[in-house]
């Protein structure tokens, strides 16, 4: 049995550029359900997987306005998550057609300024780094 990866080993890239000072990443895949009931039954007559959404979100230490501008521009990007870090044979999750649609900034007197960025892609593929 394999051991789970340490979160600190994960890497996030937009295009071929690593997101520097990344602190966390969250991925989600949601599939809606198509459910139809018929008269005389309390159980679905049809139960199928429906439309899917592929969401990605990451937090990082703030350096400059790069990611806020990407949200404003609305240009599709590719986001790659490497849960076990970078290296040949290691797993990767590639989100294509990602529109970054949410950006937030936070600063506290006793901390480092940070930002959160999230978006949604048109597809995701799970593979292995070469």
- 1 lies in some domain: no
For 19, phi and psi rounded to 5 degrees? -75, 105
Residue 84: domain span: 7-128
For residue 94, being part of any structural domain is answered with yes
96 exposure class (CB count in 10 Å sphere: 0-12, 13-18, 19+): middle
The C-alpha atoms of residue 78 and residue 76 are separated, in whole angstroms, by 7
Token digits of residue 32: 């809606």
Residue 2 lies in a domain: no
**3-class secondary-structure state, position 21:** coil
pTM exceeds 0.85, yes or no: yes
Instruction: Check: CB of residue 99 under 8 Å from CB of residue 67.
Output: no
**The CATH number of the domain where 20 resides is what?**
2.30.110.20
User: Mind listing the pLDDT tens digit for each residue in 28-80?
Assistant: 999 999 999 999 999 999 999 999 999 999 999 999 999 999 999 999 999 99
11-14 and 22-37 as β-strands: parallel, antiparallel, unpaired? unpaired
pLDDT, greater one: 128 or 3 = 128
Share of the chain above pLDDT 70, in %: 100
Q: CA nearest 55: which of 36, 29, 74?
A: 29
Query: How far apart are the two ends of the chain, measured CA to CA in Å?
Result: 23
Specify burial of residue 84 (Cβ count, 10 A radius: 0-12, 13-18, 19+). middle
Closest of 115, 110, 16 to residue 63, by C-alpha: 115
Domain count along the chain: 1
Is 33 part of a structural domain of the chain?
A: yes
Mean pLDDT of the chain: 95
């Amino acid at each position: 049995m394999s051991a789970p990866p340490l979160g600190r080993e994960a890497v996030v890239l937009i295009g071929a550029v690593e997101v520097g000072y990344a602190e966390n990443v969250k991925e989600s895949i949601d599939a809606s359900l198509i459910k139809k009931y018929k008269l005389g039954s309390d159980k679905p007559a049809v139960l199928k997987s429906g439309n899917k959404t592929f969401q990605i979100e990451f937090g990082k230490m703030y350096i400059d306005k790069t990611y806020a501008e990407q949200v404003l521009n609305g240009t599709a990007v590719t986001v790659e998550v490497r849960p076990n870090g970078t290296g040949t044979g290691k797993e990767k999750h590639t989100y294509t057609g990602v529109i970054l649609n949410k950006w937030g900034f936070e600063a506290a007197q006793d901390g480092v300024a940070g930002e959160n960025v999230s978006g949604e892609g048109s597809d995701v593929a799970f593979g292995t780094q070469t």
